[in-house]
Amino acid sequence: MAKRRDEWMSLGDENSISLSVDGRQIKRQKKEQEIAERRGKEQHLLNERTIKLSNDPEPEIDGSRWTKKKLQKVQDLIKSENIPLEKAVLQYFDSMDQYRRAARSESDMSVQELAAIERATTGFFKSQPKAVARDNLSASDEIKHMDRTPPLKSATTKPSVTKQVCPLCFHDTDLGLAPVVALGLRTYLTLPTEPELAQYSAMIVPLEHHTSMLQCEQDEWDEVRNFMKSLARMYYSLGKGVIFYENALGGPKGHQHAAISAVPTPLNITANEWKAIFSRSYEITETEEWTQHKKVIDTTKTAENKGFRHSMVPDLPYFHLWTSIDGGIGHVIENKRSWPRGDLFARQNIGSVLKLPIDVINKQGKWPSPRQAERLDQFKENWHKYDWTVDLG
């Protein structure tokens, strides 16, 4: 009896194991069936969407979703196969001009991509140095080409937070807080914050987030000089002279966006008088007896050899005043703590000559300003005759 009982117990154990295994197999089969059914439904929906998409008519260039798809296909082709921009464009567009019009109408393209398109499709290349004109970079390489020097690379690799909070930076599809008067390929013209030192004041700003204008490349400087010449002509038509200045302090943690400010001035104040005013102010502001650099650096003496760019020290904070397009006087700031905060050094000197109220001189506003749209319209009424950027197409 004991033996038979053991046999029954053994048989019971085998049956329970077999039933347990069969149960797991059934569950697994059900799970696999559910997954297969779900995948089949997903594939069916995907096929329906693909068929619907392929049957849609392809409209002309009008900012539609098909235009966006073709623009994206061009960019993908350039990046994946590393072919020239023009070759990629002609696979999806009838002409480069059609592609440029489409790109200009799309708000989802970055400023750098638009700049690359401009350089590849306009006649502005003819005025550039021959070495640049021969450059046959693709669109993706062109963007890298814009920051190829070590100083510029260090400026453009700042934390993304810097560019997000910078009022002069373009953030992909969004413009900066500062208004855009005219847009070049590497620089743009904007208006200063209020209160401005004189009506129709302006600022020349590089698109890249440089901490000083010394980090700009030659093609950026070509555009800066174009803006300077055009502003000087506009101010002269209004019976004014002009001085330009840069206050390159670097800002908190070196994150200040470089810019050159333009201030219209009375014609009866000569360049030598402006030099004398600022030279004296350099000496008064920084009173250290021993300094490593000359207190006043005359950049007009080296105008034939890049003037300002050759004379100033790129890695140190400085202030520079242009009394002409070719140069002026500069000062290396030895002690940032003793230097007036923000833009006060320039505002105090220029404001006192123009006899502005002290509260106007000391106030430094922010973008956007309350009268920004009104000021922009007034400025453009005078600027449009001298706007060199219209020749970019």
Split at pLDDT 50, 70, 90, the class of 164 is low
Q: Would you say residue 31 lies in a domain?
A: no
Does the pLDDT at position 52 exceed 50? no
- pLDDT of res. 291: 59
Q: How many CA atoms lie within 13 A of 370 on its CB side?
A: 2
Q: Would you say residue 4 lies in a domain?
A: no
> Do residues 121 and 233 both lie within one domain?
no
Q: Would you say residue 57 lies in a domain?
A: no
Domain count along the chain = 2
Choice between 295 and 173, residue whose per-residue pLDDT is larger: 295
CA 170, CA 156: separation in Å to the nearest integer? Answer: 13
As a whole number, mean pLDDT of residues 29-35 equals 75
CA 49, CA 81: separation in Å to the nearest integer? Answer: 28
Split at pLDDT 50, 70, 90, the class of 16 is very low
- pLDDT of res. 335: 82
- pLDDT of res. 100: 66
> Do residues 231 and 96 both lie within one domain?
no
Split at pLDDT 50, 70, 90, the class of 87 is confident
> Do residues 316 and 358 both lie within one domain?
yes
> Do residues 208 and 329 both lie within one domain?
yes
Q: Would you say residue 385 lies in a domain?
A: yes
- pLDDT of res. 62: 41
Q: Would you say residue 37 lies in a domain?
A: no
pLDDT in tens, 174-201: 566 889 999 999 999 999 999 999 999 9
> Do residues 162 and 89 both lie within one domain?
no
> Do residues 122 and 84 both lie within one domain?
yes
> Do residues 268 and 316 both lie within one domain?
yes
> Do residues 127 and 257 both lie within one domain?
no
0.75 surpassed by pTM: no
Does the pLDDT at position 142 exceed 90? no
Calculate the average pLDDT of the chain: 74
Q: Would you say residue 145 lies in a domain?
A: no
> Do residues 161 and 120 both lie within one domain?
no
As a whole number, mean pLDDT of residues 365-390 equals 91
Would you give the end-to-end CA distance of the chain in angstroms?
Answer: 106
Domain boundary among 91, 108, 140: 140
- H/E/C letters for each residue in the chain? CHHHHHHHHHHHHHHHHHHHHHHHHHHHHHHHHHHHHHHHHHHHHHHHHHHHHHHCCCCCCCCCHHHHHHHHHHHHHHHHHCCCHHHHHCCCCCCHHHHHHHHHHCCCCCHHHHHHHHHHHCHHHHHCCHHHHCCCCCHHHHHHHCCCCHHHHHHHCCCHHHHHHCCCCCECCECCCCCCCEECCCEEEECCCCCCCCCCCEEEEECCCCCCHHHCCHHHHHHHHHHHHHHHHHHHHCCEEEEEEEEECCCHHHCCCCCEEEEEEECCCCHHHHHHHHHHHHHHHCCCCCCCCCCCEECCCCHHHCCHHHHCCCCCCEEEEEEECCEEEEEECCCCCCCCCCCHHHHHHHHHHCCCCHHHHHCCCCCCCCCHHHHHHHHHHHHCCCCHHHHHC
Q: Would you say residue 248 lies in a domain?
A: yes
Does the pLDDT at position 221 exceed 80? yes
CA 314, CA 327: separation in Å to the nearest integer? Answer: 16
Choice between 61 and 242, residue whose per-residue pLDDT is larger: 242
> Do residues 231 and 362 both lie within one domain?
yes
pLDDT in tens, 303-328: 555 567 777 877 789 999 999 888 89
Q: Would you say residue 354 lies in a domain?
A: yes
CA 269, CA 263: separation in Å to the nearest integer? Answer: 13
Domain boundary among 106, 140, 174: 140
Does the pLDDT at position 147 exceed 90? no
Choice between 8 and 274, residue whose per-residue pLDDT is larger: 274
> Do residues 133 and 163 both lie within one domain?
no
Tokens found for residue 27: 């569950």
Domain boundary among 140, 172, 193: 140
> Do residues 189 and 123 both lie within one domain?
no
| CA-to-CA dists, residue 193 to 102, 255, 333, angstroms | 33, 18, 24
- pLDDT of res. 74: 75
Tokens found for residue 356: 């502005």
Give me the domain span that covers residue 90: 65-140
- pLDDT of res. 101: 65
